[in-house]
Amino acid sequence: MPRPKEKSAQAQIVDAARKHFGQEVARVSAPGGENRSSFRLHLAERTVIATLRPNFRRTHLEAHVLTELGRHCSDLPQCLGVVGEIMFQSDVGKRRLNVEIAQVDGPAQLDLAAEAVAGIFRIHGAARQTELNEIMPHLGNNKDWVLNFVDAVDFLQGLGGISDQFDRIAAYERIDAPARQFVKWDCRSGNAAIGRDGKLRWFDFEYAGLRHGAEDIAWLIGDEAWPLAPQDMVDVVIDAFDPTCGIALPDYLDYLSVYLTFHAVQRLKLISKEAKKRGWLSKDRIRRYDDAGVHPEFAAQICRVGAYFSDQSELTAPLTPNFLEAQQGFETIAAQDAKRSA
What string of H, E and C letters represents the secondary structure of 13-56?
Answer: HHHHHHHHHCCCCCEEECCCCCCCCEEEEECCCCEEEEEECCCH
pLDDT for residue 341: 78
pTM for the model: 0.95
pLDDT for residue 35: 66
For residues 117 and 236, the answer to whether their CB atoms sit within 8 Å is yes
pLDDT for residue 3: 43
Helices (H), 71-165: 97-100, 106-127, 132-135, 143-151
**For the chain, which residues score pLDDT lower than 50?**
1-5
Q: How many CB atoms lie within 10 A of CB 208?
A: 25
For residues 189 and 97, the answer to whether their CB atoms sit within 8 Å is yes
Helices (H), the chain: 9-21, 56-70, 97-100, 106-127, 132-135, 143-151, 168-175, 215-221, 230-240, 249-278, 283-288, 296-310, 320-341
Residue 223 is given by DSSP the state -
For residues 327 and 304, the answer to whether their CB atoms sit within 8 Å is yes
Q: What amino acid occupies position 268? A: L
For residues 125 and 228, the answer to whether their CB atoms sit within 8 Å is no
Which residue from 298, 322, 141, 317 is spatially nearest to 222, judged by alpha carbons? 298
pLDDT for residue 33: 63
pLDDT for residue 5: 47
Residue 307 is given by DSSP the state H
pLDDT for residue 6: 57
pLDDT for residue 69: 98
How far is Cα 122 from Cα 50, in angstroms, rounded to an integer?
Answer: 25
pLDDT for residue 2: 44
